[in-house]
Amino acid sequence: CYMDGEDDPAVSDGKVVAGSTGFPTICGTGTEDYFCGSYNFENKATGQYQEFTGPYTGVPHIVRPDGVNGSNQRFSMYRWHITDPIRFEKELKVTIQALGWRKDGRYLPLRDDIASVAFWYQDGVGEEFPPLPSADELEIY
Protein backbone atom coordinates (compact mmCIF):
# COMPACT_ATOMS: atom_id res chain seq x y z
CA CYS A 1 0.00 0.00 0.00
CA TYR A 2 1.38 3.41 -0.90
CA MET A 3 -0.28 6.52 0.50
CA ASP A 4 0.35 10.06 -0.70
CA GLY A 5 -1.67 12.40 1.45
CA GLU A 6 -1.97 15.70 3.19
CA ASP A 7 -2.06 14.14 6.65
CA ASP A 8 -1.07 11.02 8.52
CA PRO A 9 -2.87 7.75 7.74
CA ALA A 10 -3.61 6.98 11.37
CA VAL A 11 -7.27 7.97 11.52
CA SER A 12 -8.28 6.17 8.33
CA ASP A 13 -10.31 3.01 8.91
CA GLY A 14 -9.80 0.00 6.67
CA LYS A 15 -12.35 -2.68 5.87
CA VAL A 16 -12.07 -6.00 4.06
CA VAL A 17 -15.25 -7.69 2.83
CA ALA A 18 -14.74 -11.25 1.57
CA GLY A 19 -17.69 -12.65 -0.34
CA SER A 20 -21.06 -11.10 -1.05
CA THR A 21 -22.36 -10.82 2.53
CA GLY A 22 -21.55 -7.12 2.78
CA PHE A 23 -20.19 -7.63 6.31
CA PRO A 24 -16.50 -6.90 6.89
CA THR A 25 -14.16 -9.79 7.61
CA ILE A 26 -11.70 -7.21 8.90
CA CYS A 27 -12.90 -3.89 10.30
CA GLY A 28 -9.99 -1.74 11.40
CA THR A 29 -9.70 0.97 14.00
CA GLY A 30 -7.11 2.92 12.03
CA THR A 31 -4.69 2.36 9.20
CA GLU A 32 -1.77 2.40 11.61
CA ASP A 33 -3.31 -0.50 13.55
CA TYR A 34 -3.87 -2.53 10.38
CA PHE A 35 -0.17 -2.18 9.52
CA CYS A 36 0.84 -2.88 13.17
CA GLY A 37 2.22 0.60 13.75
CA SER A 38 0.02 1.65 16.63
CA TYR A 39 0.34 5.13 18.07
CA ASN A 40 0.74 6.70 14.67
CA PHE A 41 4.12 5.15 13.70
CA GLU A 42 5.62 7.75 16.02
CA ASN A 43 9.00 7.61 17.72
CA LYS A 44 8.19 9.22 21.08
CA ALA A 45 11.81 10.34 21.61
CA THR A 46 11.98 12.32 18.35
CA GLY A 47 8.29 13.12 17.83
CA GLN A 48 8.72 11.98 14.20
CA TYR A 49 7.23 9.14 12.18
CA GLN A 50 9.48 6.09 12.42
CA GLU A 51 10.11 3.44 9.77
CA PHE A 52 9.97 -0.19 10.90
CA THR A 53 9.99 -3.60 9.27
CA GLY A 54 8.83 -7.02 10.40
CA PRO A 55 8.19 -10.35 8.73
CA TYR A 56 4.50 -9.63 8.02
CA THR A 57 3.99 -5.88 8.44
CA GLY A 58 5.97 -2.70 8.26
CA VAL A 59 6.49 0.87 7.15
CA PRO A 60 9.86 0.62 5.41
CA HIS A 61 9.87 4.06 3.79
CA ILE A 62 8.50 7.49 4.70
CA VAL A 63 9.02 10.45 2.38
CA ARG A 64 9.08 13.64 4.40
CA PRO A 65 8.18 16.95 2.73
CA ASP A 66 11.08 19.24 1.96
CA GLY A 67 8.96 22.38 1.75
CA VAL A 68 9.34 22.57 -2.05
CA ASN A 69 6.38 22.51 -4.43
CA GLY A 70 3.88 21.80 -1.64
CA SER A 71 4.91 18.15 -1.47
CA ASN A 72 3.02 15.82 0.85
CA GLN A 73 4.22 13.22 3.28
CA ARG A 74 4.20 9.74 1.75
CA PHE A 75 4.13 6.31 3.39
CA SER A 76 5.00 2.90 1.98
CA MET A 77 3.39 0.18 4.09
CA TYR A 78 2.95 -3.55 3.78
CA ARG A 79 1.01 -6.35 5.42
CA TRP A 80 1.25 -9.96 4.32
CA HIS A 81 -1.73 -12.12 5.31
CA ILE A 82 0.35 -15.28 5.72
CA THR A 83 -0.68 -16.16 9.27
CA ASP A 84 -4.18 -14.72 8.87
CA PRO A 85 -5.26 -15.37 5.26
CA ILE A 86 -8.37 -13.71 3.88
CA ARG A 87 -10.30 -16.54 2.27
CA PHE A 88 -12.83 -15.84 -0.45
CA GLU A 89 -14.30 -17.65 -3.43
CA LYS A 90 -15.59 -14.93 -5.73
CA GLU A 91 -15.60 -11.41 -4.36
CA LEU A 92 -13.18 -9.31 -2.35
CA LYS A 93 -13.58 -5.63 -1.52
CA VAL A 94 -10.97 -3.60 0.37
CA THR A 95 -11.60 0.01 1.39
CA ILE A 96 -9.62 2.63 3.28
CA GLN A 97 -11.40 5.73 4.52
CA ALA A 98 -9.12 8.77 4.21
CA LEU A 99 -9.50 11.10 7.18
CA GLY A 100 -7.24 13.77 8.62
CA TRP A 101 -7.52 16.43 11.26
CA ARG A 102 -8.86 19.96 11.12
CA LYS A 103 -7.03 22.60 13.13
CA ASP A 104 -9.73 22.47 15.82
CA GLY A 105 -9.35 18.68 16.25
CA ARG A 106 -12.35 17.59 14.18
CA TYR A 107 -12.06 15.01 11.41
CA LEU A 108 -11.30 16.22 7.89
CA PRO A 109 -12.27 14.02 4.91
CA LEU A 110 -9.27 13.77 2.58
CA ARG A 111 -8.67 12.81 -1.04
CA ASP A 112 -5.43 10.91 -0.64
CA ASP A 113 -3.86 8.89 -3.43
CA ILE A 114 -3.62 5.25 -2.39
CA ALA A 115 -2.09 2.49 -4.49
CA SER A 116 -1.98 -1.18 -3.60
CA VAL A 117 -1.17 -4.61 -4.92
CA ALA A 118 -2.75 -7.94 -4.05
CA PHE A 119 -1.38 -11.43 -4.59
CA TRP A 120 -3.69 -14.39 -5.05
CA TYR A 121 -2.42 -17.86 -4.26
CA GLN A 122 -4.43 -20.88 -5.30
CA ASP A 123 -4.09 -24.47 -4.11
CA GLY A 124 -3.86 -26.95 -6.95
CA VAL A 125 -5.13 -26.72 -10.48
CA GLY A 126 -8.74 -25.75 -10.91
CA GLU A 127 -11.09 -25.05 -13.72
CA GLU A 128 -10.16 -22.58 -16.39
CA PHE A 129 -10.75 -18.95 -15.45
CA PRO A 130 -12.53 -16.38 -17.62
CA PRO A 131 -10.27 -13.88 -19.42
CA LEU A 132 -9.17 -10.85 -17.41
CA PRO A 133 -10.88 -7.51 -18.16
CA SER A 134 -9.22 -5.20 -20.67
CA ALA A 135 -7.43 -2.02 -19.58
CA ASP A 136 -10.49 0.01 -20.67
CA GLU A 137 -12.79 -2.13 -18.53
CA LEU A 138 -10.53 -1.59 -15.51
CA GLU A 139 -10.45 2.19 -15.92
CA ILE A 140 -11.35 4.13 -12.78
CA TYR A 141 -13.29 7.33 -13.28
Tens digit of each residue's pLDDT (9 = 90 or more) over 89-118 = 888 888 888 777 788 988 888 777 777 877
The pair phi, psi for residue 33, each rounded to 5°, is: -70, -40
pTM of the model: 0.72
Q: Domains of the chain, with CATH numbers?
A: 2-115 (2.60.120.1390)
Whether residue 75 has pLDDT greater than 80? yes
Model confidence at 3, pLDDT cuts 50, 70, 90, reads: low
